[in-house]
């Protein structure tokens, strides 16, 4: 096993448990964490990372864990992706920071050029770089407000857009993201999304869009609306893939009504869903697209890319930040983008989808607790319910995830109801590791009453 496993970034691509999980070193570190780190900062896993490569994370006790989380959809090119490591090493030796607003450098411009080229639509585009997904979402709203002279922002049920004040207002779920943290930014309105598993089956994409648009027209009014912001597949909310036709109908309405259509592709971007961007699936061309996570192989970087006339509506000096487009993050992004293109990782994501769905559909056929298997590319969800109903089973979901963790598989949950297991492997993962992770998943599901 160990002998035949390939090695990526110095890490043998196999699962191995040498202690119980968490092991003694992780337990000692967890005690220090409890004493030193604010308790509001939770962790999914009880083990501490020491090293990672490809689709494997090694903990401080020497256990090899299979990574089905990619650090929440970030290390799409794999941990320690060779091009990323090399580019960052070269950049760190040259200079670490000057601030693009003080002494600009070419890496930032090159990332902007790449995003202008790769994001949906062949119109003239501009890009601005930031640090986090939430910061980029906020800036997309700022840009839309200046460009339209309007204030309203419409978002959707189950949406997740971040933890800053404006993006908390835009995020749907109270616990844990918003609880007690208000008051929230005003002029944010919420519309119903298309959620095929939970919608009445007569609600197709067009009907779901008409339902949302009617509510928006009645409760907000297009003349008050600067932007509509939506994740083309909702991430934290439960990997909710809208019915076909939903997104195109929203875009058409935005175009007719002078509303800026913003795609939040923070989680879905950069080959994750089997297309370079999830919008590409239905040929949706957003006015502004927000990207982060998978853009830079693990370094903090985010971007707003969009129509030149909207982006350039902002006054000089109106957009920025000390670290936005940091040179190390830009070097990493250029290398990650090169990796995605050279290795055709969008195609790899489609292979991963076929492998995972084939195994998961077989499991679902024999286990009525699996309400639905859905998603695209390497963004696949298993929604767990009380058999024969759509009643969410959050307790089972939590137990299955915890059992997978003890067995050495990093597995995340999501969903407004906390009943969705989400599989987000790095695209550098081997088929063998994926199969092994799915074997573990099948075992722990079978063993959990
Ligand atoms: N938009 C669609 O998925 C971040 C959040 C994890 P930041 N998702 C992971 C957590 O519990 O904090 C996300 C997203 C979408 C925006 C964001 C925000 O991105 O880089 O975390 O700010």
Which atom of ligand 1 lies nearest, measured to the CA of 176? 11
Distance of CA 359 to the CA centre of its chain: 23
CA–CA separation, 302 vs 136, rounded Å? Answer: 6
Q: What spacing in Å lies between the alpha carbon of 137 and ligand 1's midpoint?
A: 10
> Both 252 and 395 in a single domain?
no
Looking at the domain assignment, is residue 188 inside a domain?
yes
> Both 65 and 120 in a single domain?
no
Q: Which two tokens stand for residue 185?
A: 């930014």
> Both 173 and 322 in a single domain?
yes
> Both 259 and 359 in a single domain?
no
> Both 118 and 166 in a single domain?
yes
> Both 224 and 361 in a single domain?
no
Residue that finishes a domain, picked among 342, 361, 379: 342
Q: Which domain holds residue 413?
A: 7-80+345-447
Long-range CB pairs of 315-320, under 8 A, 24+ apart, other chains included:
315/146, 318/142, 318/146, 319/128, 319/139, 319/142, 319/143, 320/100, 320/101, 320/128
CA–CA separation, 100 vs 149, rounded Å? Answer: 28
Residue that finishes a domain, picked among 342, 369, 398: 342
Looking at the domain assignment, is residue 2 inside a domain?
no
Tell me what pLDDT residue 3 has.
57
Q: What spacing in Å lies between the alpha carbon of 96 and ligand 1's midpoint?
A: 25
Q: Is the pTM of this model over 0.75?
A: yes
> Both 206 and 318 in a single domain?
yes
Pocket of ligand 1 from Cβ distances under 6 Å: 72, 132-134, 137, 160-163, 231, 235-236, 264, 266-267, 292
Cβ atoms within 10 Å of 199's Cβ, excluding its own: 17
Tell me what pLDDT residue 348 has.
98
> Both 170 and 258 in a single domain?
yes
Tell me what pLDDT residue 200 has.
87
Q: What spacing in Å lies between the alpha carbon of 162 and ligand 1's midpoint?
A: 5
DSSP string, 114-182: HHHHHSS-SS-EEEEEESSHHHHHHHHHHHHHHHHS--EEEEETT----SSHHHHHH----TTTTTT--
How many folded domains does the chain comprise?
2
CA–CA separation, 177 vs 336, rounded Å? Answer: 30
Q: Mutation test of ligand 1: which of 40, 72, 155 has the most ligand atoms closer than 8 Å to its C-beta?
A: 72
CA–CA separation, 67 vs 78, rounded Å? Answer: 10
Tell me what pLDDT residue 110 has.
99
CA–CA separation, 100 vs 103, rounded Å? Answer: 5
Residues of the chain with pLDDT under 50: 1
> Both 261 and 147 in a single domain?
yes
- Nearest residue (by CA) to ligand 1, atom 19, is 133
Measure the CA angle with vertex 170, ends 295 and 325; round to 5°.
30
In eight-state DSSP terms, residue 361 is: H
Looking at the domain assignment, is residue 1 inside a domain?
no
The domain that contains 62 carries what CATH number? 3.90.1150.10
């Amino acid at each position: 096993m160990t002998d035949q496993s390939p090695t990526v970034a110095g890490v043998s691509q196999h699962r191995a448990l040498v202690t119980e999980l968490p092991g003694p070193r992780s337990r000692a570190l967890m005690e220090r964490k409890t004493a030193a780190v604010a308790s509001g900062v939770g962790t999914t896993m009880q083990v501490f990372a020491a090293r990672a490569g490809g689709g494997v994370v090694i903990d401080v006790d020497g256990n090899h864990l299979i990574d089905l989380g990619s650090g929440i959809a970030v290390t799409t090119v794999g941990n320690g992706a060779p091009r990323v490591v090399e580019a960052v090493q070269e950049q760190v030796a040259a200079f670490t920071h000057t601030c693009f607003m003080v002494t600009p450098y070419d890496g930032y411009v090159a990332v902007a050029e790449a995003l202008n080229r790769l994001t949906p639509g062949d119109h003239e585009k501009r890009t601005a770089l930031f640090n986090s997904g939430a910061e980029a979402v906020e800036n997309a709203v700022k840009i839309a407000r200046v460009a339209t002279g309007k204030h309203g922002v419409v978002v959707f049920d189950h949406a997740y857009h971040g933890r800053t004040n404006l993006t908390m207002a835009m995020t749907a779920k109270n616990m844990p993201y918003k609880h007690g943290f208000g008051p929230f930014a005003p002029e944010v309105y919420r519309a119903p999304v298309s959620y095929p598993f939970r919608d009445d089956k007569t609600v197709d994409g067009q009907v779901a869009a008409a339902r949302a648009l009617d509510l928006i027209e009645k409760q907000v009014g297009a003349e008050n609306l600067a932007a509509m912001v939506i994740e083309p597949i909702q991430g934290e909310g439960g990997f909710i893939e809208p019915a076909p036709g939903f997104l195109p109908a929203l875009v058409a309405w935005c175009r007719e009504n002078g509303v800026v259509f913003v795609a939040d592709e923070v989680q879905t971007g950069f080959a994750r869903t089997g297309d370079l961007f999830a919008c590409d699936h239905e040929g949706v061309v957003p006015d502004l697209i927000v990207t982060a996570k998978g853009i830079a192989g693990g370094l903090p970087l985010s971007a707003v890319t969009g129509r030149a006339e909207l982006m350039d509506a902002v006054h000089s000096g109106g957009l920025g930040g000390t670290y936005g487009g940091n040179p190390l993050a830009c070097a990493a992004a250029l290398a990650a983008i090169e990796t995605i293109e050279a290795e055709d990782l969008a195609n790899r994501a489609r292979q991963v989808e076929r492998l995972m769905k084939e195994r998961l559909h077989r499991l679902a056929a024999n286990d009525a607790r699996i309400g639905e298997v859905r998603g695209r590319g390497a963004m696949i969800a298993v929604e767990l319910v009380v058999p024969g109903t759509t009643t969410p089973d959050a307790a089972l979901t939590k137990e299955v995830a915890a059992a997978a963790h003890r067995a050495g598989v990093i597995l995340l949950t999501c969903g407004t109801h906390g009943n969705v297991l989400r599989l987000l492997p790095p695209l550098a993962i081997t088929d063998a590791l994926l199969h092994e992770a799915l074997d573990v998943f099948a075992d722990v599901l079978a063993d959990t009453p």
